[in-house]
Amino acid sequence: MKLKQTAALLAAAMLALAPAGVPAETAEDGDTIVTIVRAPEQTRAERPPCFPDPADNYIQLPEGENLALGKPVQASAHNDVYVSGNLNDGKTETYWESKGFPAELVIDLEGTYTVSAAAVCLNPSAIWEPRIQEISIAVSLDGETFTEVSPATAYTFDAAFGNRIRIDFEPAEAAFIRVVMTSNTAYPAHSGGAQAAEICIY
């Protein structure tokens, strides 16, 4: 028994002292076999090629600039720390959660643009179970009079597809975007209202 323990300790010491690039070595003593395998050098987390990339199944977002990113946003009352500033900070790890329904938010694009698509995103982590939220979108040139470009529709959010949805509509001139969310199947079990990590406008 002592001989086997000594062999194992010796192998561990060899692993600690072996320089990078040393090929795999095998120490054998009776029934004890220890194989030393050098891990490849890497500077960041990497996914082995044999594992599929989950992002391959994500709903594709429109190409081009997200006009809503970092722009002023006003929204309905929020729950706890889930403030409106989380809606367009560029991070899906943070999110906005309204206090009840209907939940309304208005994004000032700080300029007039021709817009034709929007995306609503949640955290893509699988810990967020699938849910359905009803969403409508309207545009305005003055921030007061809005024209609906996408009527209230039920959209499914599923981590398997990136936990995001894309809404395409006829091109329209807009300086302000209003998004109204009127239901969330995660309510009331987990939330007090609508949820969105990012609102993107293209």
The model's pLDDT over 35-88, given as tens digits with 9 standing for 90+, comes to 887 777 878 877 777 777 777 888 999 999 999 999 999 999 999 999 999 999
**Predicted pLDDT of residue 53:** 75
What integer best gives the mean pLDDT of the chain? 87
Instruction: Quote the CA–CA distance of 34 and 37 in Å, as a whole number.
Output: 10
Residue 177 has a pLDDT of: 98
Considering the entire predicted model, what is its pTM?
A: 0.75
Query: What is the per-residue pLDDT for 38?
Result: 79
pLDDT digit string, tens, across residues 110-124: 999 999 999 999 999
Percent above pLDDT 90 for the chain: 67
Please list the residue range(s) of the chain that carry CATH number 2.60.120.260. 63-201
- Looking at residue 16, its pLDDT comes to 53
At residue 24 the predicted structure's pLDDT band, cuts being 50, 70 and 90, is very low
Which residues are CB-neighbours of 10 under 8 A, at least 6 positions away? 27
How crowded is residue 97: how many other Cβ atoms within 10 Å of its Cβ? Answer: 23
pLDDT value at position 4?
Answer: 56
Plot region of 160 (φ>0 → left; ψ -120 to 50 → alpha; else → beta): alpha
Residue 22: the pLDDT is 47
CATH number of 63-201: 2.60.120.260
Q: Residue 4 phi/psi, 5° resolution?
A: -65, -40
Question: pLDDT tens digits for 151-174?
Answer: 999 999 999 999 999 999 999 999
pLDDT of residue 54: 72
| pLDDT on residue 61 | 92
Question: Does 131 have pLDDT greater than 90?
Answer: yes
Partner residues linked to 93 by β-bridges: none
Q: How many CA atoms lie within 13 A of 60 on its CB side?
A: 4
Which CA distances in Å does 134 have to 12, 49, 76, 95, 182? Answer: 58, 38, 16, 17, 5
